[in-house]
Amino acid sequence: MDIDFSLVLVCLVSFCGLLWLLDSLFVKKSRDQAVEEFRANSSKGKSDEEIMAAVEELSRESLPVEYAKSFFPVLLIVLMLRSFLIEPFQIPTGSMIPTLEVGDFILVNKYAYGVRLPVIGTKLFNVADPQRGEVMVFIPPHVDQYYIKRVIGLPGDTVRYEDKRLYINGDLISEEFQQDILIDTSIGLLDGTLHVETINGVEHATQHITGITSQRPRTTWVIPNGNYFMMGDNRDNSSDSREWGTVPEKDIVGKAIAVWMHKEPGLNLPTFSRNQLIE
């Protein structure tokens, strides 16, 4: 399971806020009282500098409280940004090649499909529904971690994928051959083809391995209400809805909107050569 940074942030914000609140309610009063007693009983005969130093010492918060007050607003702002606006995400696999490469850092629009509470994911209000052709980050039904794929089927759609051709509600999706390519796979480089596919007016690149036929016994899916059918652009090398089923609306994370940085695996410096909007 991936680290849930939203949960970590919620815990840190809660801890810092609670520590600050407890200090304000119960400890600060005793510090103020100690200062008053000092001014009334112990400040006579002392210089102004000595009085100021003593008052400062008596008023000083404990180190944990100082850190809590300093970090609380910063952590709260980060939590709000990640939960309701924009969250960064790194591409871990090659399932979206050629659109997204391993090592791409992308930005995910968290409010595109509705505003949700962090961690528990309860939707506060709807903004828009996912559309065919959009690239979406979500939690799949078989594992508790973020995945990124393209929205292919909407609730009520019939999706068919057969002989490397995609049909939605009986209509063949336009796919134009571009060129022959080599595709990097777990068993080495294999011959493949690059295409431009158009779904709902959105053009995007897809690739297929030549000579490999699908081993999946099922070719047709009817999408239930409140669910979405997801596929990777690397059609012959993608674990997606063809294997583990549709994605419920409650497990949507957000819409992928842009690549902002890229870092090759290993000891390599990040680059900004792949910065682009995601189509």
pLDDT tens for residues 74-126? 999 998 888 888 999 999 899 999 999 999 999 999 999 998 888 777 888 88
Q: Does 149 participate in catalysis according to the annotation?
A: yes
Task: Find out whether 69 and 20 touch, Cβ atoms under 8 Å.
Answer: yes
List the CATH code of the domain at 91-277: 2.10.109.10
User: Nearest to residue 203, comparing CAs of 272, 134, 275, 155?
Assistant: 134
Instruction: Please tell me which residue, 141 or 3, carries the higher pLDDT value.
Output: 141
Read off the tokens for 165.
């051709």
- Residue in 6, 83, 95, 241 annotated catalytic: 95
Please choose, from the candidates 259, 256, 260, the residue with its C-alpha nearest in 3D space to the C-alpha of residue 113. Answer: 256
Backbone angles phi, psi at 167, to 5 degrees: -125, 135
The one-letter amino acid code at 218 reads: R
In the predicted model, is pLDDT for residue 56 greater than 90?
no
DSSP, collapsed to helix, strand or coil, labels residue 157 as coil
Mean pLDDT for the chain overall:
90
At residue 84, the pLDDT reads 87
Question: Could you report the per-residue pLDDT of 12-23, keeping only the tens digit for each?
Answer: 999 999 999 998
Q: What is the pLDDT of residue 1?
A: 42
Catalytic residue among 149, 238, 241, 255: 149
Catalytic residue status for 14: no
Amino acid identity, position 125: F
Contact between 99 and 136 under an 8 Å Cβ cutoff? The reply is no
CB 230 within 8 Å of CB 136: yes
Residue 201's Cα: distance from chain center in Å? Answer: 25
For residue 235, the one-letter residue type is R
Q: Are 126 and 114 in contact (CB under 8 A)?
A: yes
- Whether 183 and 190 have beta carbons less than 8 Å apart is answered as yes
DSSP state of 271: B
Q: Which amino acid is at 151?
A: V
Q: Note the pTM of the prediction, 2 decimals.
A: 0.83
- Boundaries of every domain in the chain: 5-84, 91-277
The pLDDT tens digits for 26-39 are: 888 888 887 787 77
